[in-house]
Structure 1
Amino acid sequence: MGTTGGSRARVGRPRAARRPDSGLSARDELLAAAAELFTTRGYAATTTRAVAERAGMRQATMYHYFSGKEDLLAELLESTVTPSLTLARRLLADDAAPAERRLWELCRSDVELLCGGPHNLGGLYLLPEVRSERFAGFHAVRAELKDTYCQLLAATAVGKTLGKSELSLRTDLLFGLIEGVILIHRSDPERPVSAFAEATADAALRIAGV
């Protein structure tokens, strides 16, 4: 049967229920639904059916985009790291600016990314499931980001005086503080993120001895 009045039928898989148009693609709606449910109900307690229903889709439709919960979790985890890695690569290449300033900017931006979203995705790092081989992609991106922190620290005046083991220790401390902000932010979620990010960057550089 043809359409009438110049309207055109939507092409694609049907939705189980209509929600107000969020402007998101179906894939992004599923990720948003998974982020909400994983951080409020818990990963283990959330079913793929619940994710699909929260996104206004049939469960079968969800499998058109993601193979299951692990696939959703892996993409959510990588979304907490890849923007910072992109910035880190750019800052590492911009040797016209002082390394101290570039390292501070990476810390500040990373904290804003971790704390600026509507859901506490950083808390998902602690899930035991994340240690499995399925999440090797996330761990590889995270390791590259940490290495960029190390390279920027090594390029500072203080970093140039450090031995390999001391540089590694200070990188661990700095990176640990940045990733730990999720737990600090959770205790006072109303704290302005921009001010929190700047204060954390200041503290991170002091911990690193910069």
Structure 2
Amino acid sequence: MSTTAGAAPAPRARVGRPRAQGPVADGLAPRDGVLAAAAELFTRHGYGATTTRAIAERAGLRQASMYHYFAGKEDILAALLEGTVRPSLDLARALVAHPSATAEARLWALCRADVALLCGGPHNLGALYLLPEVAAERFAAFHRVRAELKSSYRELLAATDAAAAVPAAELELRADLVFGLIEGVILIRRQDPDPSAPALAVAAADGALRLSGTPEPVLAAAAAQGAALLDTLRAG
């Protein structure tokens, strides 16, 4: 359709990144807003049922803008998964190398902190571990980080006094049981979306040391030392 004489020219389309019309989700930076939106939608509606359009809308972004931060839904899921293990792995490395605490105290500290991380957010992201899609090669980095975290558990367990007389095969089994106990809070949270995270973290850490064969008097001392160690590491 032609314009009439004297009419104002149509405004030119703006070139560049498309931006949301409203604020980013919950005032977060755009990338963090996408992750927060995806965490909510994946855990509430399911990964398969969630589209990138729905994630972008929940994050307050246009869909095209979201692709400046993530190539697609798998990249978002990968980032969420790695975010559930990397902080615990960083702590595990520090605890393995810590020279002034018993292995029992360091193992207790790792267990408590790991459970607190898995239960601390508003969404049960650990439940995403159970998705069949996570077996794909795209998530190999997540599996490597998780395997390294499990190896740190095994190393701390092997350094406890109770492990000294345990055959290698049984020690491996105990490590699997301890790691399974910690990640088992994911299933507890599916049944009870709002458990008392601090109480669950302490109970899981105590249970992990019992599985390791640590005697009760040693466990009590390890828990006290482990709690103090966490405070020191966080303050530093």
TM-score by structure 2 length? 0.81
- Corresponding residue for residue 199 of structure 2: 195
Corresponding residue of 1:4? none
**Is it true that 1:78 corresponds to 2:102 in the alignment?**
no
Aligned to 1:58: 62
State the match for 1:176 in structure 2. 180
**CA separation in 2, counterparts of 1:23 and 1:15?**
14
Q: For the structure 1 residues 58 and 20, does the alpha-carbon distance in structure 2 shift closer, same or farther, using more than 3 Å as the test?
A: closer
Whether the aligned pair in 1 keeps the contact of 2:25 and 2:33 (CA below 8 Å) is no
Identical pairs, percent: 66
1-side partners of 2:28 and 2:176: how far apart? Answer: 37
RMSD between superposed Cα atoms in Å: 1.4
Q: Aligned residues, how many?
A: 199
Change (3 A) 1:20 1:138: closer
| Over 4 Å off, 4+ runs | none
Q: Do residues 133 (structure 1) and 137 (structure 2) align?
A: yes
Distance in 2, matches of 1:20 and 1:146, equals 36
The residue that corresponds to 2:159 in the other structure is 155
Provide Cα deviations, 1:73-118, integer angstroms capped at 9, x if missing partner. 0000000000000000000001310100110010000000000100
1:70 is displaced (CA, Å) by 0.4
Distance of aligned partners of 1:159 and 1:95 in 2 relative to their CA distance in 1, 3 Å threshold: farther
TM-score, structure 1 normalization = 0.91
Unpaired segments ≥5 residues, structure 2? 1-15, 215-236
Q: Rg: which structure is higher?
A: 2
User: What whole-Å deviation, never above 9, does each CA across 1:129-152 have from its counterpart, x for those lacking one?
Assistant: 000110000000000000000000
Alignment of 1:9-28 (within 5 A): 13-19=17-23, 22-28=26-32
Structure 1 21/138 Cα, relative in aligned 2: closer, same or farther at 3 Å? Answer: closer
The secondary structure found in structure 2 opposite 1:64 is coil
